[in-house]
Amino acid sequence: MIFLKPKYKNLFLVLMVSFSSWSFSQNDKAERKILKAVDKYSESAIELIKKSVNINSGTMNFEGVQEVGGLFKKELDKLGFETKLTNGEAYGRAGHLIAKRKGRKGPKFLLIGHLDTVFELGSPLQEYTMQNDSIMKGPGVADMKGGDVIIILAMQALNDAGLLDEMSIEIVMTGDEEKSGRPLELSKKDLIDAAKRSDIALGFENGDNNPKTIVVSRRGSTDWVLKVTGNPAHSSQIFTEDIGVGAIYETSRILNEFYLQLAKENDLTFNPGFIIGGTTLKPDEDGTGGHAIGKTNVVSQETIVRGDLRAVSLNQLTKAKEIMKKIVSENYPKTKAELTFSSGGYPPLSLSEGNTKLLGYYNTVSEDLGFGAVTAVNPRNAGAADISFTSEYVEMAIDGLGLTGGGGDHTINESGNLNTVATQAKITAVLMYRLVNSKL
């Protein structure tokens, strides 16, 4: 259910009437100015993408994240935004870039990007290369420095068209989207506070790398740890009343039941990404590795499994957790199991009436500008992202407005189609212009 702020309680109705009666025309001077300005600044925007991609800003390279933030901050300063780079020491990260403008009318916008990438200083992918005249391969080109630059390009176009002063806009480019700082209450505070002040959130991730789709729903993500113990003994005693089945058999039972009972649930996934088991375990402190000691003739004493759980709504997430806990409690003989879920994690961006309507408005603009129809991304094809933290607070939200048309996200083959930079900026800027100039 969407709870509208009093000032905008008729937002859906007014915008629906406005958009249904708005037919794009070459005689609309403001929109022609926007399109012309995007074309004017597109070449410099692509150069900005290249420059930012060549700055390593892996999440844990704090200096690099701050450098990219400073690069984008300069561009927003030129447009009259009040900007700052925050300090992320309290949550173990580099901090965020925040930019604000107060306008005279219309809904309050929150535009979301992030400065960090998955490509740390040790990655083999450190600089961009052009695969042809339009496809750029590089660290973070799609996820999501291209999207950050699209935000800037759209702002430049609105400014050139004389429209930016009308708008209330907050831009938050986080420094820890790929590896969130802890606690989340601190690392996401600036983003959540901005969402509380906003009516409409636009995210500039790259969605499913298809410019014909937009994200209206994202699955949330949380981590889980399964620890199982059994009675160690000579293997000849397994299945006896005193010894039971051992930790590894119990672990296999649990994982198999997870699959049997939950695998057919739409849009739900639960992935055991790491497992060790044996007589004694030595897991690494960061939870990404470890050692197990055991022999084929010894019944296993311990196992540890780490995984994640992704759900499309809070109700689905709660239900899945309950089923998983029940499965874990029904132990094989002489074994014990404990399942814990992380206290943090990304909430889902639940499908809502507001998000669906905003997609409709975006689609209208895209078709009016000659770029064709845009449909919703299947949430199975959209991972967790920062926009999910706005779901509880804004009336409308969509994501996937960033640089698209490539692939290989989070790998050394990450790429994006530079031809989509201008297209996405044009749709974004015209959409914001139309939303502001509806009679709210």
- Alpha-carbon span 399 to 207, nearest angstrom: 7
pLDDT, one tens digit per residue, over 251-284 is 999 999 999 999 999 999 999 999 999 999 999 9
The per-residue pLDDT for 11 is: 55
**What are the chain's domains?**
17-218+349-436 (3.40.630.10), 221-341 (3.30.70.360)
Mean pLDDT over 109-116 rounds to 98
Are the C-beta atoms of residues 89 and 81 closer than 8 Å to each other?
no
Residue linked to tokens 């209330």: 168
Are the C-beta atoms of residues 189 and 279 closer than 8 Å to each other?
no
Are the C-beta atoms of residues 279 and 229 closer than 8 Å to each other?
no
Confidence class for position 207, pLDDT limits 50, 70, 90? confident
The per-residue pLDDT for 3 is: 38
Closest CA to 212 of 17, 347, 372, 37: 372
The per-residue pLDDT for 21 is: 44
403 CB-contact burial (10 Å; exposed 0-12 / middle 13-18 / buried 19+) = buried
pLDDT, one tens digit per residue, over 64-73 is 999 999 999 9
14 has a pLDDT exceeding 70: no
- Alpha-carbon span 42 to 51, nearest angstrom: 14
Q: What is the dihedral of CA 241, 245, 251, 255, to 10 degrees?
A: -90
pLDDT, one tens digit per residue, over 324-339 is 999 999 999 999 999 9
7 has a pLDDT exceeding 80: no
DSSP symbols for 185-228:
HHHTHHHHHHHHT-SEEEE-S-TTS-TTEEBS-B-EEEEEEEEE
The per-residue pLDDT for 343 is: 81
pTM of the model: 0.85
- Alpha-carbon span 321 to 219, nearest angstrom: 15
Mean pLDDT over 337-351 rounds to 91
Mean pLDDT over 146-161 rounds to 98
pLDDT, one tens digit per residue, over 355-410 is 999 999 999 999 999 999 999 999 888 778 899 999 999 999 999 999 999 999 99
- Alpha-carbon span 186 to 218, nearest angstrom: 22
Closest CA to 50 of 116, 134, 145: 145
- Alpha-carbon span 173 to 194, nearest angstrom: 11
